[in-house]
A and B are shown apart, each in its own frame.
Chain A
Amino acid sequence: MIVAERKTIPELVDILEGHKKILVLGCGTCVTVCLAGGEREVSIISSALRIASRAKNLSFEIEELTIERQCDNVFIEEAAKAVERNDVVLSLGCGAGVQAIAERYLEKPVYAGLNTAFIGILEERGIWAEKCAACGACVLDQYGGICPITRCAKHMLNGPCGGSREDRCEVRPDRPCGWQLIYQRLKGIGQLDRLKRIVPPKNWAPSLGGGCRVIVREDHRI
């Protein structure tokens, strides 16, 4: 899923200052699961904004709404009336959601209330971790299902750096070294030989380095 976390209340106040009628718009998909922008977080952030509005005399009038999915036009339509009766939208969707709302409602300022962080999973209660960098050319088959691009801070494709420790990464001592995990995994599944191959430089063109990415499926077009 896409994992995000809320911006701080001062940041949001900064963004919203000068506006009056504000729609705080949640999304029922990824950001609900990662507890950043679902119905409950819409209420929490709205409540905190109301408290801030009173503390700073900002006269915010906040309406709360959560739709099933902000990145899908079918669901975006459900927000039409609420968007219309407010001056601005504070979207608690991921970056894709915010932009989808902005594209649909051209006349309204649409602001991001979250920082979209990464594609990841819930590792344990309260801990989300990145697993995929969406590089556009998956290499997981060669590394025992552990991504060296995401899990190694240097995106090393040929083995660990000198700062690798068996139990942690030099860059993030609270995290394991991705390369130690790859090594253990490949050893465990009898594929250590894969590591002996010199992997050539990666083609980053399918990643963000190649500009905004689009996938066209003619079989799905009219």
Chain B
Amino acid sequence: MKHDSWLAKKIASGDFIVTAELLPQASTAIPEIEAAISFLGNSIAAVNVADNPHGPVLSSLAGSLVLVKAGMEPVYQIVTRDRNRIAIQSDLLGAGALGIRNVLCLSGHHQTLTGSPESANVYDIDSIQLIAAVKQMRDQGVLLDGTEIKGVFPVLIGAVANPDMNPLELNILRLAKKVEAGAEFIQTQAVFDVEAFERWIEQARNQKITENTAILAGVMPLSGYQDAETLRDHYMDLSIPDSIIERLKKAGDEGAQKKEGLNICLETIRKIKKMDGVKGIHILSGGKEKLVPEIIASLD
């Protein structure tokens, strides 16, 4: 066994996997994270700790460590936006030493889309190069420059995909490369367009990608039509169909819209669950970790 990860064991068991995202705050208060963790509960396989998605917050590495201490399984997210290969490998070694056993490799929201648009652009390596670097550190026990790593680095490697990115050929080509580079699980961007997702997973199946990696479909409860519109307009990697926005609008007042958002999310999960090649879901609650138990409870 090259990795020593609870998430890896869960995936191997064939169970339907549920992971959820935790968004750390601009805070030094550990109890805040612990509170968020308590909402997530024990029924999920792993908790992703986002790496400064919208600007500086408590680090993903520190957040992951809090999870480890709380007896939960973290997925340590690393974006290539802010750190060069020296810093990234150094943090990875730290993560290994601290008992973090899952790493998610991504490029991250570009800094100009965060609250710190004036930041310098790093992007020394890209997400696929990061996947390959983690794999090399784990399997060959060496850093990118060939330096031997003392001790083991038994991590499970994850990556992300956006099923809505077109053209499909380019999308799948990139997904295949991520898996070839070493991604053992893929967490997707939130799915709203279920048909588009179905076309995507079908292509992934046809190219036998689903056999070599565990695909966890992203799902996100929308809190209202305004929230949906803001997300759609601000992040081009999020594709929210007009029909969904209309449904939220028609639902009525704020509370009703919130409920409808949750309904849409649950419907999406039910449809996705039936699809061949989907190993689980990844709940992107956008900082609303409180909603996670409700989603999980409805999963029969």
Contacts and interface: CB of A to CB of B under 8 A. Distances in A.
Q: Do A and B touch directly, given a CB cutoff of 8 Å in the complex?
A: yes
Contact of B110 (A158, A170, A179): A170
Contacts of A196: 173, 176-177
Contacts of B236: 163-165, 168, 170, 173
A183 B237 contact: no
Contacts of A156: 107, 123, 126-127
Nearest to B160: A162
28 contacts: A153-B110, A154-B107, A154-B123, A154-B126, A155-B126, A156-B107, A157-B129, A158-B128, A161-B107, A161-B127, A162-B162, A162-B165, A162-B237, A163-B110, A163-B236, A163-B237, A165-B236, A168-B236, A170-B237, A171-B110, A171-B112, A173-B236, A180-B170, A195-B170, A198-B129, A198-B181, A200-B129, A201-B125
Contacts of A160: 165, 170, 174
A202 B121 CA distance: 15
B167 interface: yes
Given A163-B236, A164-B165, A201 B144 contact: yes
Contacts of B129: 157-158, 198-201
Size range of the interface on B?
35 or more
Given A154-B123, A162-B160, A201-B133, A170 B113 contact: yes
A28 interface: no
Given A159-B174, A201-B133, A166 B167 contact: yes
Contact of A204 (B112, B124, B170): B124
B81 interface: yes
Interface in A166-220: 166, 168, 170-171, 173, 179-180, 183, 192, 195-196, 198-202, 204
Contact of A163 (B128, B144, B180, B235): B235
B131 to A, nearest CB: 9
Given A155-B126, A199-B129, A201-B124, A162 B170 contact: no
Contacts of A159: 128, 170, 173-174, 177
The 9 closest A-B pairs by CB, nearest first: A162-B162, A158-B128, A159-B174, A162-B237, A163-B237, A170-B236, A156-B126, A201-B125, A171-B110
B65 interface: no
Contact of B81 (A154, A162, A195): A154
Contacts of A183: 167, 170
B173 A195 contact: yes
A196 B123 CA distance: 21
Interface of B: 80-81, 85, 107, 109-110, 112-113, 121, 123-129, 132-133, 144, 160-162, 165-167, 170, 173-174, 176-177, 180-181, 189, 235-237
Interface in A121-179: 153-166, 168, 170-171, 173, 179
Given A159-B177, A161-B107, A198 B161 contact: no
| Best-buried of A162, A163, A165, A200 by chain B (most CB within 10 Å) | A162
B128 A162 contact: no
Given A153-B121, A154-B81, A200 B132 contact: yes
Contacts of B160: 162
Contacts of B161: 162
Nearest to B176: A196
Nearest to B167: A166
A146 to B, nearest CB: 14
Contacts of A164: 165, 236
Given A158-B128, A163-B162, A163-B235, 4 more contacts: A158-B126, A158-B129, A164-B165, A171-B112
B119 to A, nearest CB: 13
B167 to A, nearest CB: 7
Contacts of B166: 165-166
B280 to A, nearest CB: 19
A156 B189 CA distance: 19
A129 B238 CA distance: 28
Contacts of A165: 165-166, 236
Contacts of A170: 110, 113, 235-237
A59 B62 CA distance: 59
Contacts of B107: 154, 156, 161-162
